[in-house]
């Protein structure tokens, strides 16, 4: 089991040095609940595998996250960002909480290593079910937190055997957590919808070499509200996956770094657009530009960039609209209601 970002320690240091020259940034967000909103999406964690601030990192973004200038701190507070006890902000490891107001059930997409902190901070209900997109540390290793918190947790994951691991995501979850009686794994076939927490959920193959990884669509069959999640992925996801993810009310897109940072990745960038801008960083994550491009391809009504690294320059890292700092809750309603999401503070 590995992490999502693959450059070597030496390369990482070089990368970090370059980035710190321009600054870098974090995040943590939270969006509002509004009467009548039936699908409530809380971004519990919007960071990459090291989070922001990154432990021991002294880059400008991490320093700014730990101790924002007063004007930024005030703006973030006014915008509803969750502040740390020390007055900073943070971007914890990826996890999304989806509450169904109609059934009063909660679905958790990925189990962040920051699970405990996220649930204490946001006070969202514990999950009734969970989904694991892939077996990287930052998406799976929080699952053990259900011990003594939950009597029973249904965990859904893909059933395709990964040649890299010799087992499916569902198989790895089942074997890693065989010691926890609370966890029941339900293997699912990608591209085939299944029902959980009153939602219709479909796992879709994405591109995150060398491991198999899945994005997903979560739809409320009663209201038509639709959330799509890219999962950790490069830009060129399969056409059938795009068809399932298309036309979401809210799209959460992996946007690990701005495209101009591909210069510092040992493998550079890939999937360049007509202007020559790389939409993939290395081989397994989208650049910010790639994420926005995919959002466009999918005709997303609203998009939030997630899985962001501290390599974002400090002046760009704390933009609530596109790059929500930490936890925000978004009420999502079907587009046909004419309603919107993202207003108000929880
Ligand atoms: Zn990841
Ligand atoms: Zn990953
Ligand atoms: Zn840093």
Q: Is the pLDDT of residue 33 over 50?
A: no
Task: Return d(Cα 253, Cα 307) in angstroms, integer.
Answer: 8
pLDDT of amino acid 32:
29
Give Cβ neighbours of residue 166 (< 8 Å, ≥ 6 apart): none
Task: Return d(Cα 241, Cα 191) in angstroms, integer.
Answer: 7
Q: Is the pLDDT of residue 344 over 90?
A: no
Task: Return d(Cα 282, Cα 20) in angstroms, integer.
Answer: 20
Q: Are 104 and 128 contacting, i.e. CB atoms less than 8 angstroms apart?
A: no
pTM (2 d.p.): 0.85
Residue scoring higher pLDDT (160 or 28): 160
Bridge partners for 127 per DSSP: none
CA of 24 to the centre of ligand 3 (A): 6
Task: Return d(Cα 86, Cα 322) in angstroms, integer.
Answer: 25
pLDDT of amino acid 80:
73
Q: Is the pLDDT of residue 329 over 80?
A: no
CA of 291 to the centre of ligand 2 (A): 15
Give Cβ neighbours of residue 70 (< 8 Å, ≥ 6 apart): none
Q: Are 163 and 139 contacting, i.e. CB atoms less than 8 angstroms apart?
A: no
Residue scoring higher pLDDT (130 or 13): 130
pLDDT of amino acid 125:
96
pLDDT of amino acid 78:
81
Domain ranges of the chain: 9-332
Give the ligand with the smallest distance to the CA of 23: 3
Q: How confident is the model over 86-128, as pLDDT tens digits?
A: 889 899 999 999 999 989 999 999 999 999 999 998 889 999 9
CA of 61 to the centre of ligand 3 (A): 6
Q: Is the pLDDT of residue 340 over 60?
A: no
> End-to-end distance of the chain based on CA atoms, in angstroms?
36
pLDDT of amino acid 332:
65
Q: How confident is the model over 209-260, as pLDDT tens digits?
A: 999 999 999 999 988 999 999 999 999 999 999 999 999 999 999 999 999 9
CA of 229 to the centre of ligand 2 (A): 13
CATH 3.20.20.70 assigned to domain 9-332? The reply is no
Using a 10 angstrom Cβ sphere, with 0-12 exposed, 13-18 middle and 19 or more buried, the burial of residue 144 is middle
pLDDT-derived band of residue 22, with 50, 70 and 90 as boundaries? very low
Structure tokens given for 155: 């965990």
Task: Return d(Cα 124, Cα 106) in angstroms, integer.
Answer: 9
CA of 103 to the centre of ligand 2 (A): 31
pLDDT-derived band of residue 85, with 50, 70 and 90 as boundaries? confident
CA of 283 to the centre of ligand 1 (A): 13
Residues at Cβ < 5 Å from ligand 2 ion? 4, 136, 232
Using a 10 angstrom Cβ sphere, with 0-12 exposed, 13-18 middle and 19 or more buried, the burial of residue 38 is buried
């Amino acid at each position: 089991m590995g992490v999502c970002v693959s450059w070597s320690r030496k390369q990482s240091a070089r990368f970090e040095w370059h980035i710190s020259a321009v600054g870098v940034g974090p995040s943590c967000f939270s969006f509002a609940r509004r009467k009548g909103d039936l699908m409530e999406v809380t971004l519990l964690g919007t960071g990459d595998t090291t989070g922001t601030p990154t432990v021991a990192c002294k880059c400008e973004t991490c320093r700014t996250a730990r101790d924002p200038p007063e004007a930024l701190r005030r703006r973030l507070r006014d915008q509803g960002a969750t502040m740390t006890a020390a007055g900073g902000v943070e971007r914890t490891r990826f996890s999304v909480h989806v509450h169904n107001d109609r059934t009063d059930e909660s679905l958790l997409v990925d189990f962040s290593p920051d699970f405990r902190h996220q649930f204490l901070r946001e006070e969202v209900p514990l999950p009734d079910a969970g989904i694991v997109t892939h077996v990287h540390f930052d998406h799976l290793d929080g699952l053990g937190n259900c011990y003594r918190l939950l009597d029973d947790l249904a965990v859904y994951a893909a059933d395709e055997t990964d040649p890299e691991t010799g087992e499916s995501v569902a198989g790895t979850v089942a074997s890693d957590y065989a010691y926890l009686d609370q966890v029941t794994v339900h293997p699912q076939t990608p591209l085939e919808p299944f029902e959980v927490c009153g939602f219709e959920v479909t796992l879709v193959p994405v591109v995150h070499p060398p491991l198999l990884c899945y994005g997903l669509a979560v739809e409320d069959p009663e209201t038509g509200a639709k959330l799509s999640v890219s999962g950790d992925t490069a830009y060129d996801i399969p056409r059938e996956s795009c068809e399932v993810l298309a036309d979401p009310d809210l799209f959460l897109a992996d946007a690990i770094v701005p495209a101009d940072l591909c210069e510092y990745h040992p493998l550079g960038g890939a999937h360049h657009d007509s202007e020559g801008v790389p939409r993939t960083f290395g081989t397994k994550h989208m650049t910010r530009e790639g994420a926005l491009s995919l959002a466009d391809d999918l005709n997303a009504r609203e998009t939030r960039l997630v899985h962001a690294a501290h390599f974002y320059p400090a002046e760009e890292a704390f933009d609530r609209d596109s790059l929500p700092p930490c936890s925000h809750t978004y009420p999502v309603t079907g587009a046909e209601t004419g309603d919107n999401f993202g207003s108000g503070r929880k």
